[in-house]
Amino acid sequence: MNNPFDPAHIQEEKAEREARRLKLRTNLLIALFCAVLCGFAAVLYQTQIVNGASYRANSSVRIVQPEQVDSVRGEILDRYGRVLVTNEVSYNVELDWEAMGSDQLDILARLLDICREEGVEWADDLPISDTAPWRYTSETPLSFQRKSDDGEVTDVPTYLGSLAEECGWVKHAEKSNLTAGELLTLMCQTFGLVEKAPRPRLAHPELGGMLSAAGQGLGLTDQGGGISRENRELAGVFYELYLRRHEVDNSTYLFAQGVSITFISKVKESALAGVRIETATTRKYETSYAAHVLGYTGSITRNNWDRYKELGYPMDATVGVEGIELAFEEQLHGVSGSRLIEKDQDGNTTGQEWRKEPEPGDNVVLTLDMALQAATEDLLAQYAGRQEDSSKGMAAAVVDMSGGVLALASYPTYDLASFRENFSQLQDDESKPLNNRATMGLYAPGSTFKPLTAIAALSSGTIEPRDTVECTAWYRFYPDVSPACWIAPGRHGKENVTQAIKDSCNIFFYDVGRRTGIDTLQEYAQKFGLGEYTGIEISEYKGWVAGPEANAHFNLPWYGGDIMNAAIGQGTNQFTPLQLANYIATLVNGGNHYACHLLKECKSSDYSQVTQTYEAAPLHTIDIQPEDLAAVKQGMYDLSKTYTMARWFSSLPVEVGCKTGTAETSSKAATTNAVFVCFAPYDDPQVALCLVAEGGDAGGSLAELAAGILAQYFSTGDSLNTVTGENALLH
């Protein structure tokens, strides 16, 4: 009998237990391995046998496409760092023709149904009306004429014209004869929206009326016929897709922008192949003011594609169209990126690889003071609201002594946040709210021109500050014409230049202007920047300085006596409010003429560094003797102390110099524009401004507005809080 306590026996039992455990582990490992192997075999079977055909189909259509990616635009700020224009994330809908397969019609019909349910507007640039009777909405729907530098005129097809030829809808010679209804029918037949019907054969000439009736039945006339509104809407979408399919337009078809989450959910639930939801950034306006200055963005057009192509922009990039957005496009836009996109047969993105990441644009800081801008626009609106005809336009320009624009307002105006929805209404508005009157409105300056006439006469030695001219109510130098002073039949008596500016005596300036000569007046007007481009970065008109050349432009003869009207700011003098404000700044700063500018500086996208700074330097300096300047400024100061002016300016913390102007707008109709210029402080000028009111009675009526603008500028204690909201960040 074995001893259980025998060491040998104990060792033997231990070895047996170890063997049993090893066998168990081995069996478990073998079982686990078999299970894994079976699972792997099942996956292979599922992939290669059950779903093999599907995966092969997917892999055969999976393609990799290069794609340029637009960068994020920089922000626009005012001089104190208030953000005026920024970006917000939105969702856009893009369509991919190839990914739709043979179900394009069903997919697009369902997509348009969702758009109607959710009130989403989609892009439709087909130049045919969206309701019957069908008509072209463009004056040149199929082609337009382009004149080359050598004067040769050629017919250039539009997008629609190019596609019409490509699809065989028209031949070049038929373009001008094809009606909108006929073209729409041909399009709908090509797109499969309506069936092609056989053309009726006329057995007898007397049955010719049948052709017209049949044509109406097919929608071949502009009366609508068999083409429904739904067909027209689908035709507009197919038109956009066909443009890209036939490489007439190579940009991405951006079907809809800024769609809601509900819309996206319905699109996803419907599993619409080729309908892609993409994230994007759109411009967000933090202010309703300065619309004419800030401008707006839009798509690249066919006319400017060559320029942006050279800059490396993708064709579907968003670019500046007007205002600051256009003027500083390259700084705001940044650098576009590129990536490789992998897509499956449904057009879904399955992967991407960046080749070059986009670089965001710089932030542009303007010279504008948005609190001052807001106050100026509000004051213009209040003034206009008190007039009998509140639709009359107004403009204001405020500049500093080096041409920096502090405020630039035009009335009536519009809101950038909603102007796209109201564009047609704004465009048709007789008051022309889209026009920037501050830089593109041309007005006779009236008596606000008289300080320039005075400086030209003083600097050229025609008169001295103490010289006088006697006002006898009528100027009788010319035998055939005797123009009157505005005070006639009263008279000012003997007046020197200071008194004549204060009293705005026409007789003084008739005589002094005649003796100075039109050539000298033109020379000094141009030195002060009148009738010249100011240099501002946004769109502006040049204007005209009265003289033989300007009269010839307006098909008017020039007579020697016309210099009298020129000397008092009438005749063919035509300037912008910004030119007049900058002329006053040039005058009171001692003759240093600066270009006007809106740029203060540019900052990097993260605001960590200044990438560009505007360096103001005089374009030229006018040699004005101190005593001559003092005599002119004194007259403007004395005017501000008269009763009609002092009641507005006396409450200001600074002294003011000003000049009124009442400019005739027509020799046949008794209509005038009110013009007003001023500067402050009198002893050490900081700002100059100009106000113009179309149809205004007299320049003096604008003194209240000017005082309100100056009060805002010199009350800096409340300036920042006027626009900036709670917890807003100043950059």
Q: Give the pLDDT confidence of 64-75 residue by residue, as tens digits.
A: 767 777 788 999
**Bridge partners (DSSP) listed for residue 349:** 343
Say what the pLDDT of residue 429 is: 84
Residue 266 DSSP SS3 = helix
Mean pLDDT of all residues belonging to the chain = 85
Percent of the chain topping pLDDT 90: 50
Average pLDDT over residues 381-398: 86
Average pLDDT over residues 479-486: 86
In the DSSP assignment, the letter for residue 74 is: P
Say what the pLDDT of residue 202 is: 36
40-44, 490-494, 615-619: which is most confident: 615-619
Q: Quickly state the pLDDT bin for 704 (edges 50, 70, 90).
A: very high
Tokens read off for 412: 């009536």
Say what the pLDDT of residue 208 is: 33
Q: Quickly state the pLDDT bin for 147 (edges 50, 70, 90).
A: low
Instruction: Find the range with the poorest average confidence among 40-54, 188-202, 296-310, 626-640.
Output: 188-202
Residue 20: count of CB within 10 angstroms of its CB: 10
Instruction: Find the range with the poorest average confidence among 33-47, 373-387, 544-558, 686-700.
Output: 33-47
d(CA 690, CA 676) in angstroms, rounded, equals 6
Percent of the chain topping pLDDT 70: 87
d(CA 186, CA 195) in angstroms, rounded, equals 10
Instruction: Find the range with the poorest average confidence among 192-196, 216-220, 590-594, 598-602.
Output: 216-220
> Residues 443, 577: contact at Cβ < 8 Å?
yes
Say what the pLDDT of residue 344 is: 65
Burial class (CB in 10 A: 0-12, 13-18, 19+), 276: buried
More confidently predicted of 576 and 27: 576
More confidently predicted of 230 and 390: 230
pLDDT digits (tens, 9 = 90+) for 168-213: 888 766 666 788 888 899 889 988 888 765 444 333 333 333 333 3
Answer whether residue 705 shows pLDDT above 70. yes
Say what the pLDDT of residue 220 is: 34
Of 226, 111, 196, 419, whose CA–CA distance to 124 is shortest? 111
pLDDT digits (tens, 9 = 90+) for 330-375: 999 988 887 787 766 655 667 777 788 888 999 999 999 999 999 9
Answer whether residue 62 shows pLDDT above 80. no
d(CA 411, CA 7) in angstroms, rounded, equals 113
Type of residue numbered 472: T
Answer whether residue 278 shows pLDDT above 50. yes
Say what the pLDDT of residue 2 is: 54
Answer whether residue 391 shows pLDDT above 80. no
d(CA 405, CA 589) in angstroms, rounded, equals 16
Average pLDDT over residues 661-686: 84
Residue 283: count of CB within 10 angstroms of its CB: 18
Say what the pLDDT of residue 257 is: 83
d(CA 405, CA 616) in angstroms, rounded, equals 12
Answer whether residue 625 shows pLDDT above 60. yes
Q: Quickly state the pLDDT bin for 481 (edges 50, 70, 90).
A: confident
d(CA 669, CA 314) in angstroms, rounded, equals 53
pLDDT digits (tens, 9 = 90+) for 118-134: 998 888 889 999 888 89
Answer whether residue 460 shows pLDDT above 50. yes
Average pLDDT over residues 205-227: 40
Q: What are φ and ψ of residue 443, in 5° steps? A: -135, 145
Say what the pLDDT of residue 659 is: 96
Tokens read off for 307: 């320029």
Average pLDDT over residues 498-526: 96
Q: Are strands 672-680 and 687-693 parallel, antiparallel or unpaired?
A: antiparallel
Distances (CA, A) of 481 to 129, 232, 264, 484, 507: 58, 67, 76, 10, 13
d(CA 250, CA 315) in angstroms, rounded, equals 7
**Measured at the alpha carbon of residue 510, what is the angle toward residues 506 and 513, in degrees to the nearest 5?**
130
Q: Quickly state the pLDDT bin for 214 (edges 50, 70, 90).
A: very low
Q: What are φ and ψ of residue 108, in 5° steps? A: -70, -35
Type of residue numbered 38: C
d(CA 731, CA 717) in angstroms, rounded, equals 19
> Residues 53, 699: contact at Cβ < 8 Å?
no
Instruction: Find the range with the poorest average confidence among 68-77, 221-230, 374-383.
Output: 221-230
**Cβ neighbours of residue 431 closer than 8 Å, sequence gap 6 or more:** 391, 392, 393, 412
> Residues 465, 497: contact at Cβ < 8 Å?
yes
